[in-house]
């Protein structure tokens, strides 16, 4: 038997912990070529929210079915192997979902180096947040030394890594985060400036932090914060659209002036590119990220929550902006 978190009710607007359920499920047998995993850590990421709607961001891609296990990356330890590729004790990373144990084909799993310790880094700097941040800063934006890049949700896993990568490349990183505590944390991680989007003078403070206009914007949030960041770009500014955190919680988010948004794009000659890690060059990213991590140039504070039963509340807190850095659930 294994414990797992599943989608109990389709969230209407803001996710409530009660929309998610916890249940025991029988584990399927470990067949030929399979491994049985004891899950150690489950990654909880803001973008998981978009998969809980009926259609992902209103597009044709269907979301998670009612009753299905919550999707997400996780690190598991092999406890039984019927494949020559993996041995008991090996750590692997994959999209195992929010569960305690899992049986899956060994083929295609990412085996973690023993040097990675308990493997949690494979869910952070050396996982989806790290390769996503790298893809945005390096592949999509092509950040060069001396450029200024604005990063929203800068206290989140992806944003915090993105700013530190920009710094490693010799660029200026200007973060946007909610509240003084998060802004202080962002500055502690080497950002050149961090602006509080909850402050009354937010738009002016952002403009002041980008004298002459920023060259690039790494967008994790969309909405009004994105509008302010677009307005702080100079001519020919580039935007990497990575996420829309401010728009995930339901059908709202229609605030803001579409005409003003389009005029900004036109009058400044901006380029915008939406991206996901799919199709980005992950092996190259992992080499650079591992080196920068070893050199102490990239770090991400973690919030580790104990047990799957606590995961729904932690996810709600994450979406409400009450958790900074990377959130992981310690499973067993």
Comparison of 231 and 299: residue with beta carbon closer to a second copy? 231
Comparison of 83 and 249: residue with beta carbon closer to a second copy? 249
CB 264, min distance to a second copy, A: 8
CB 258, min distance to a second copy, A: 4
Comparison of 144 and 263: residue with beta carbon closer to a second copy? 263
CB 1, min distance to a second copy, A: 37
What lies within 8 Å, CB to CB, of 93 at 6+ separation is 73, 74, 75, 76, 109, 110, 112, 119, 122, 123, 127
Between CA 279 and CA 97 the distance in angstroms is 22
Q: Would you tell me which residues interact with a second copy (CB under 8 A)?
A: 56-59, 61, 222-223, 226-227, 241, 243-244, 247, 252-276
**Which tokens go with 301?**
């504070």
Between CA 202 and CA 210 the distance in angstroms is 13
CB 126, min distance to a second copy, A: 24
What lies within 8 Å, CB to CB, of 72 at 6+ separation is 42, 43, 44, 45, 48, 95, 96, 97, 98
Comparison of 263 and 297: residue with beta carbon closer to a second copy? 263
Comparison of 89 and 250: residue with beta carbon closer to a second copy? 250
CB 102, min distance to a second copy, A: 28
Between CA 244 and CA 56 the distance in angstroms is 12
CA 61 to chain centre: 20
**Sign of the CA dihedral with 169 first, then 174, 179, and 181 last:** positive
Comparison of 70 and 244: residue with beta carbon closer to a second copy? 244
CB 51, min distance to a second copy, A: 12
Q: At what angle do helices 223-231 and 258-268 cross, to 10 degrees?
A: 30
Query: What are the start-end ranges of the H helices in the chain?
Result: 128-134, 157-168, 180-188, 202-209, 223-231, 258-268, 282-294, 311-319
């Amino acid at each position: 038997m294994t414990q797992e978190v599943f989608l109990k009710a389709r969230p209407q607007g803001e996710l409530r912990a009660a929309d998610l359920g916890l249940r025991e499920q029988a584990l399927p047998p470990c067949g030929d070529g399979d491994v049985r995993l004891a899950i150690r850590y489950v990654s909880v990421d803001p973008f998981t929210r978009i998969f809980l709607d009926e259609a992902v961001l209103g597009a044709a891609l269907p979301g998670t079915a009612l009753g299905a296990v919550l999707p997400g990356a996780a690190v598991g330890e092999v406890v039984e192997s019927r494949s020559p590729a993996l041995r008991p004790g090996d750590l692997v990373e994959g999209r195992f979902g929010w569960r305690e144990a899992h049986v899956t084909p060994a083929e295609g799993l990412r085996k973690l180096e023993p040097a990675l310790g308990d493997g949690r880094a494979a869910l952070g700097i050396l996982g989806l947040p790290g390769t996503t941040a790298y893809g945005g800063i390096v592949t999509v934006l092509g950040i060069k030394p001396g450029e200024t890049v604005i990063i929203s949700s800068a206290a989140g896993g992806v944003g915090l890594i993105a700013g530190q990568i920009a710094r490693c490349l010799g660029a200026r990183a200007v973060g946007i985060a909610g509240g003084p505590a998060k802004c202080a944390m962002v500055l502690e991680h080497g950002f050149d400036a961090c602006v509080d989007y909850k402050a009354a003078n937010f738009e002016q403070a952002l403009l002041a932090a980008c004298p002459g206009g920023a060259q690039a914007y790494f967008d994790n949030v969309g909405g009004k914060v994105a509008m302010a960041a677009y307005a702080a770009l100079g001519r020919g500014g580039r935007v990497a659209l990575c996420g829309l955190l401010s728009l995930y919680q339901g059908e709202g988010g229609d605030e803001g002036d579409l005409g003003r948004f389009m005029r900004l794009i036109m009058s400044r000659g901006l380029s915008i590119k939406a991206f996901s890690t799919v199709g980005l060059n992950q092996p190259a990213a992992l080499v650079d990220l591992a080196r920068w991590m070893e050199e102490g140039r990239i770090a991400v504070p973690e919030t580790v929550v104990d047990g799957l039963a606590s995961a729904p509340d932690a996810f709600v807190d994450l979406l409400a902006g009450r958790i900074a850095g990377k959130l992981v659930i310690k499973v067993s």
